[in-house]
Amino acid sequence: MGQVLIRLDQVSVSYGRVEAVHSVSLSVAPGQIVSVIGPNGAGKTTLLSATMGLLRARGGLEFLGENIREWPVEQRVAAGLVLVPERRELFADMGVEDNLLLGAFQRYLKRDRRINSTLDEVYTRFPRLKERRVQLAGTLSGGERQMLALGRALMGKPTLLMLDEPSLGLAPIIVREIFHILAGLRQDGVSILLVEQNARAALQVSDYGYVLETGEVALHGQSDELAQDQRVAASYLGAARKGNP
Amino acid sequence: MDFQIAALLAQDGLTNGAIYALLALALVLVFGVTRVIFVPQGEFVAFGALTLAALQMGKTPGTVWLLLGMTLAAAVLESYRCGRAGTWRRWPREMLVLAAFPLAVALASYFLAPLQLPLWAQVLLTFCIITPMGPLLYRLAFQPVAEASVLVLLILAVAIHFVFVGLGLFLFGAEGSRTPPFGSGGFEALGVNVSNQALWVYAVSSALIVALYLFFGRTIFGKALRATAMNRVGARLIGASPNFAGRLTFTLAAALGAASGVLIGPITTVYYDSGFLIGLKGFVGAIIGGLVSYPIAALGALLVGLLESYASFWASAYKEIIVFTLIIPVLLWRSLTTTHHEEEE
Ligand SMILES: Nc1ncnc2c1ncn2[C@@H]1O[C@H](COP(=O)(O)OP(=O)(O)OP(=O)(O)O)[C@@H](O)[C@H]1O
Ligand SMILES: [Mg+2]
């Protein structure tokens, strides 16, 4: 294992002939929150999808010291790599609790007996979900849906949690709640790779940051230093949030 | 038509309808999880009935050879895959998982068939022969093209249907078979003769439907299959792989097909090519349920059975036409009432 949980080494990802991510190198150490910020279409979602195995990647992809590039998605999930996708991908016609339990599907396969205690933990973290345990996921509000997506991911007991824009489309007060929860997760030892357009909040909560522009890493550094950087301040920390029409 | 005839026709119609309902449920399940319109489901029915008939005559059923052939093909495919990926270390285990059950079943059939086992043992053996064909078929035919469009998958399903009918003729010959009824006789209720055979069909179908309901509602595997049908990406992200879901679905479909075949064997004479018409009636039921709703599909299949039964009384020459014409108003009604969901992905 050593010092690095996940390492991307010159990873490139293409859609057909079009390359959307060009040799990106990045790593996350245990216990860290690492954020990736960048404008619309920079390739952030593409990068996470390839790391999860939904898209093919070229280059090096190591998780817990193993080369996972050819692994299927389910094997990565079983190893502790879990993604909360940009579109949430919840099971809309199922209840909240079923969605959560399905998040532990790989653990059922491994006959893990601690699933119910994880469910209690998730309910403690998100009391709102407990209130709505039988409600259909498709009828939840945007914020509740995001909590459910997070909760479902946590049910898998991730070693590394990857989040694609957890604040997308949420009211500021809920955004604050979500980031508060992320900070809490870090306290509990969950490592996080966080993709965000809300650069200010992301840099505040994270230890290290990468700026992705047109599929390449434009800048990277300690989050507090990045937040001071002229270019970052000009492009991403302006008064108006970039990307919102 | 007096009340007695009407009641008898209803009994017949519900008996067939219950069997069509099992087919309709299998079709909805397969379509939901894998997007395959599973035309060859009817062939599992015919194979089930013919397998049981062969066992009753003390012969090794031809489907045993089909099972062995499919296992061999899957073994070759898997070896090729191991070779390309360079994972020979896993090869012995893969082969064991793949071939152990089919080989055991084939041996058992070969030695047990001449012994004239009791009926329940023959039924069990029939299930053991037909059910593994489901996941094998998925592995051989559908898994390699799982991402293809619905149309491509349908064309593949039709092709498999033809292959299976051809193999059916080769393995079982052109003569039809009929298996003896499970229960002879019956009793009188309200002046109507209720046959024990019909009761058997009702009981077994209902039990299977309840079992399916519990499976999908209560077990994690059932929920994972529903999840796959609802949101493919979401299912992959929780670690329920499409291959896993496909194989499990096809296992269930083959088992339901075998059940339908065992149940329909004593009712009609089944030939190697009878599966298509039977499957089509299940399909009409499934269409009434829009290929998504299990309860409406099952009710639709019962309706098909009833309609067929009464049609055969009034206009027996036209009964198939009447049943299949039903599909037109149903499609019209569905296209007018269903709001179209945008295809995700
Ligand atoms: N399925 C696809 N097929 C072809 N091109 C795609 C596909 N998905 C994304 N792209 C392209 O790849 C590039 C990167 O997209 P990506 O979704 O990764 O950006 P992003 O950084 O996540 O943007 P946003 O902040 O808007 O979510 C874009 O130019 C996009 O148009
Ligand atoms: Mg994105």
Per residue in A187-236, pLDDT tens?
Answer: 888 999 999 988 888 999 999 999 999 999 999 999 999 988 888 887 77
Starting from the edge strand earliest in sequence, which strands make up the sheet with A58-63, in order? A18-28, A6-15, A58-63, A66-67
**Burial bucket for residue B92 (CB in 10 Å: 0-12, 13-18, 19+):** exposed
Q: Number of C-alpha atoms within 13 angstroms, CB side, residue B102?
A: 25
Q: Give pLDDT tens digits for B31-48.
A: 999 999 999 999 999 999
Mean pLDDT along residues A16-44: 94
Residues whose Cβ atom is located within 5 A of ion ligand 2: A 44-45, 86
Nearest CA to ligand 1 atom 28: A41
Q: Report yes or no: B18 and B309 within 8 Å, Cβ to Cβ.
A: no
Burial letters for B139-172: b for 16+ Cβ neighbours within 10 Å, e otherwise? bbbbbeebeeeeeebbebbeebbeebbebbeebb
* pLDDT at residue B283 in the model: 92
Confidence of residue A238 (pLDDT cuts 50, 70, 90): low
Q: How many whole angstroms separate alpha carbon B243 and alpha carbon B228?
A: 11
Q: Report yes or no: B191 and B207 within 8 Å, Cβ to Cβ.
A: no
Mean pLDDT along residues A167-181: 87
Q: How many whole angstroms separate alpha carbon A186 and alpha carbon A180?
A: 10
User: Which B residues 205-224 touch A at CB under 8 Å?
Assistant: 220, 223-224
Q: Report yes or no: B7 and B125 within 8 Å, Cβ to Cβ.
A: no
Q: Give pLDDT tens digits for B87-136.
A: 788 888 888 988 999 999 999 999 998 888 899 999 999 999 999 999 99
pTM metric for this prediction = 0.90
Q: How many whole angstroms separate alpha carbon A153 and alpha carbon A149?
A: 6
Q: Give pLDDT tens digits for B44-81.
A: 999 999 999 999 999 999 999 999 999 999 999 989 98
> Beta strand pairing status for A58-63 and A66-67?
antiparallel
Task: Give the Cβ contact number of residue B61 at 10 Å.
Answer: 26
Whether A109 and B237 lie within 8 Å, measured CB to CB: no
Which atom of ligand 1 approaches the CA of A86 most closely? Answer: 27
Say which ligand is closest to the CA of A213: 1
Confidence of residue B86 (pLDDT cuts 50, 70, 90): confident
Q: Which chain A residue has the Cα nearest residue B218?
A: A98
Q: Report yes or no: A192 and A182 within 8 Å, Cβ to Cβ.
A: yes
Which atom of ligand 1 approaches the CA of A212 most closely? Answer: 21
What is the ipTM metric for this complex? 0.92
Whether B224 and A102 lie within 8 Å, measured CB to CB: yes
Q: Report yes or no: A219 and A210 within 8 Å, Cβ to Cβ.
A: yes
In terms of Cα–Cα distance, which of B9, B140, B120 is closest to B77?
Answer: B140
* pLDDT at residue B338 in the model: 67
Distances (CA, A) of A141 to A144, A198, B258: 5, 21, 45
Query: Which residue did the predictor score with more confidence, A12 or B113?
Result: A12
In terms of Cα–Cα distance, which of A119, A171, A120, A113 is closest to A142?
Answer: A171
The domain limits of chain B are 3-181+191-337
Among the partner residues B85, B223, B244, nearest to A102 by beta-carbon distance: B223
Confidence of residue B339 (pLDDT cuts 50, 70, 90): low
Q: How many whole angstroms separate alpha carbon A224 and alpha carbon A19?
A: 31
Q: Is the pLDDT of residue B313 over 70?
A: yes
Under 8 Å CB-to-CB from B34, ≥6 apart: which residues? B138, B142, B146, B153, B242, B245, B246, B249, B250
Under 8 Å CB-to-CB from A58, ≥6 apart: which residues? A11, A12, A13, A14
Q: How far is the CA of A145 from the centre of ligand 1 (A)?
A: 23
Confidence of residue A162 (pLDDT cuts 50, 70, 90): very high
Mean pLDDT across chain A: 91
> Chain A within 8 Å of B234 (Cβ-Cβ)?
yes
Using CB distances shorter than 6 Å, the residues near ligand 1 are A 15, 18, 20, 38, 40-46, 86, 197
Q: Is the pLDDT of residue A1 over 60?
A: no
Q: How far is A240 from chain B (nearest CA, A)?
A: 31
Mutate to test the pocket of ligand 1, among A11, A12, A15, A217 (most ligand atoms within 8 A of CB): A15
Q: How many whole angstroms separate alpha carbon A104 and alpha carbon A119?
A: 9
